[in-house]
Amino acid sequence: MDEMQEIIKTYVIKEYVEDDTELTYDSPLISGGIVDSFSMVSLKRFLENKYNISIPDDKATPEAFDSVNKICALVREYVK
């Protein structure tokens, strides 16, 4: 577990999980229907604000956003 994983997971639970569904770092977010394609825009915005990065639109794919771990890998590509 690292800090980034926990921050992103906590944010996803707070913003997108409506009930007491448990989330792991590998839970499918997009394919699992927790975050829909429209809401991905706000999740992307959160990551950009939090880590002061800019994620190109063509990298913000449903596959790249499909779990906390995948998101962390994506964010790390852009964090200096």
Partner 1 sequence: MSNIGSYDERVKNFDWNISEKELDYKPGDIINIGWYCSDRICEKGFGNKPALIWEGSTGNEKRYSYNDLRLNSNAIGQFLRGLGIKPEDRVCLFMDKIPELYIGFLGILKMGGIAQPLFSAFGDESLFVRLDNAQTTAIITQKKHAPKVRKIMDKMPYLKHMIIVDADPAKPLLDREVAFDMGKAEKIEKFVIHPTFAESPSVLHYTSGTTGQPKGVKHVHYSLISQYLTSKWVLDLQDSDIYWCTADPGWVTGTSYGIIGAFSNGVTQCVLDAGFSADNWYRFIEKHKISMWYSAPTAIRSLMKAGDEVIKKYDLSSLRHLASVGEPLNSEAVIWSEKVFGKPFLDTYWQTETGSMMISNFPGMKIKPGSMGKPFPGITATVIDAETYEPFGESGKIGLIAIKPGWPSMMRTYWRNEETYKKKFQNGWYLPGDRSSIDNEGYFWFVGRDDDVINTGGHLVSPFEVESALLEHPAVAESAVVAKPDFVNMEVVKAFVTLKPGFVGSKDLDLDIMNFVRKKLSPLAMPQEIEFIDTLPKTRSGKIMRRILHAKEWGEEIGDTSTLEND
Interface residues with partner 1 (CB under 8 A)?
A: 15, 18-19, 21, 28-39, 41-42, 45-46, 48-49, 61-63, 66
Residue 34 CA, distance from chain mean position? 11
> Strand runs (DSSP E) across 1-80, as ranges?
none
Give me Rg for the CA atoms of the chain: 11
The neighbour count for residue 71, using CB atoms within 10 Å, is 26
* Minimum distance, C-beta of residue 39 to partner 1, in the bound complex (Å): 4
* Minimum distance, C-beta of residue 61 to partner 1, in the bound complex (Å): 8
* Minimum distance, C-beta of residue 15 to partner 1, in the bound complex (Å): 6
